[in-house]
Amino acid sequence: MKVLPIIKNRKIKIGIVGCGRISKNHFEAIVGHHKDFEIVAACDPVSEMLSAVKKTYKINCYTDLEEMLTSESLDIVSICTPSGFHPHQASLCAKNGVSVVTEKPMATRWRDGVQMVKTCDENGVRLFVVKQTRMNPVIQLLKQALSEGRFGKIHLVQANVFWTRPQSYYDHGTGWRGTWEFDGGALMNQASHYVDLLDWLIGPVEKVQSLMSTFRNIEVEDTGVLNLKWRNGALGSMSVTMCTYPKNFEGSITVLGETGTVKIGGTALNKIEEWNFNKKCSYDRKVNSLNKSMGNKFQGHSMYYKNVINVIRGKAKPETDGREGLRSLELLIAAYTSSRDGKLVSLPLEL
C-alpha cells in the first residue's frame, strides 16, 4: 500500500464538495486555519450555491466532482453532501490520489463504509470522519474521568436526544432528507454523534435491541429507542426523537457507576448538570468554568481540522479515521437491523 508523503513546507490544498448547510462550518474552520490551508475549489450541482461560494471565497467552482479532481491539484477534499453520496465521492477522490474528510455518517450502509476504508487504503490516501463532538470540552472532561476509572464499575448509561425537525425541514431542498438512500433517520443523522459517544466513551457494545417509529411524512424514523449491553457489563439505553414540541429540549448523556455519577446535559451536551465522585480530583474545579464558557459557540469543526492538519504534517495520529468511523456506523446498522427484524443483534456484525 502506497502512503502519501507528509506535507511540511507549503499550504495544504483543499476542495469542498457540497455547499449546503453543513459546509458553512467547514469553510469557517478552514479559513480559520488559513496559515495551513488553501481553499482551491468547490463543487455542487446547484449553481446558486456555487455562485455564493465563488463570490465569497474567490475560488474555482465546479458542478461535477470528477472534473474538479482532474482539473485541480488537491491534497484533500471535504465531503459535505448528503450521506448517501459519501461512498461514491470518497472513492472518486481516493482513485485520484486525494485524501478525504467526510461528514457524519460516513455512509448509510455498512458495506459502503467498509468499502470506503478499503478504497482509501488501496490508493494510499487518508480518510477522516468528522466526529467533532468528541472534542467538546465537557465531553473531554468526562472522557478523562472514564479513562482514569473514577466511576469504578459502570452500571447504567442513558443518552437522550429530544430535538425537533418539523415537516418543513424534511420538505426543504431537493428531496433527499428523510430518505433511506441519502439521509437515514434520526439516529443516523441528527443523533449520530450521540451514538458515537456511546461507543467511544463507554467501550465496545456487545448487544443492541431497538424500536423505531415515524410520525413525520418521511421514509425513515424520526423517533427511536435503543437498549444496549456493553462488553464491560454495563447496561444502557438511548431515546431519540425529532418530534419534540416546540423546540430542541435536551441532548444529554448520563453515566452511573459504583463511585461516580455524571450527567452532561443542556440542549446539546453544553452543560454539566451533575459531577459527583467519591474522591475529588484537581480538574473537578473546571466544572463551573466550563459551564460558563459553554454559553459560547463550540468551535468543534475548527478543532477537528487542527487534528487533520497535524496528521498531514506528520505531527499526530488521526482522532477519527475511517476505521474509527466504522465503529459508530456498525452500531447504527445493528440498531436498524434490530428494529427491522424484531430481534437482539450482537456485535461485531462481521467476524
Is the model's pLDDT at 169 over the cut of 70?
yes
Instruction: Determine, yes or no, domain membership for 287.
Output: no
| Domain co-membership, 118 together with 187 | no
| Domain co-membership, 210 together with 342 | yes
Decide: helix, strand or coil at residue 138: helix
Instruction: Determine, yes or no, domain membership for 91.
Output: yes
Domain range for 205 is: 137-269+329-346
Instruction: Determine, yes or no, domain membership for 83.
Output: yes
- Nine-digit cell string for 113: 463504509
- Could you check whether the bond before residue 5 is cis, i.e. omega within 30 degrees of 0? no
pLDDT at site 2: 61
What CATH number does residue 335 fall under?
Answer: 3.30.360.10
| Domain co-membership, 72 together with 158 | no
Percentage of residues in the chain having pLDDT higher than 70: 98
- Give the 3-state secondary structure of 164-201: ECCHHHHHCCCCCCCCCCCCCCCCCCCCHHHHHHHHHH
Mean pLDDT of 306-310: 98
pLDDT digits (tens, 9 = 90+) for 211-224: 999 999 999 999 99
| Domain co-membership, 233 together with 85 | no
pLDDT at site 299: 84
What CATH number does residue 80 fall under?
Answer: 3.40.50.720
pTM, rounded to two decimals:
0.95
| Ramachandran angles phi, psi of 203, nearest 5° | 125, 180
User: Please, which pLDDT band fits residue 295 given cuts at 50, 70 and 90?
Assistant: low
| Domain co-membership, 230 together with 108 | no
- Counting the structural domains of the chain, the total is 2
Is the model's pLDDT at 41 over the cut of 60?
yes
Is the model's pLDDT at 287 over the cut of 70?
yes
Cα dihedral 221, 269, 199, 158, rounded to 10, equals: -70
pLDDT at site 172: 86
Closest CA to 181 of 88, 72, 59: 88
pLDDT higher at 230 or 4:
230
Is the model's pLDDT at 253 over the cut of 80?
yes
Judge contact between 299 and 271, C-beta under 8 A. Answer: no
* Cα–Cα distance for residue pair 128/126, rounded to 1 Å: 7
Q: Give the count of beta carbons closer than 10 Å to the beta carbon of residue 238.
A: 25
| Domain co-membership, 204 together with 338 | yes
**Mean predicted lDDT score pLDDT of the chain:** 96
Instruction: Determine, yes or no, domain membership for 278.
Output: no
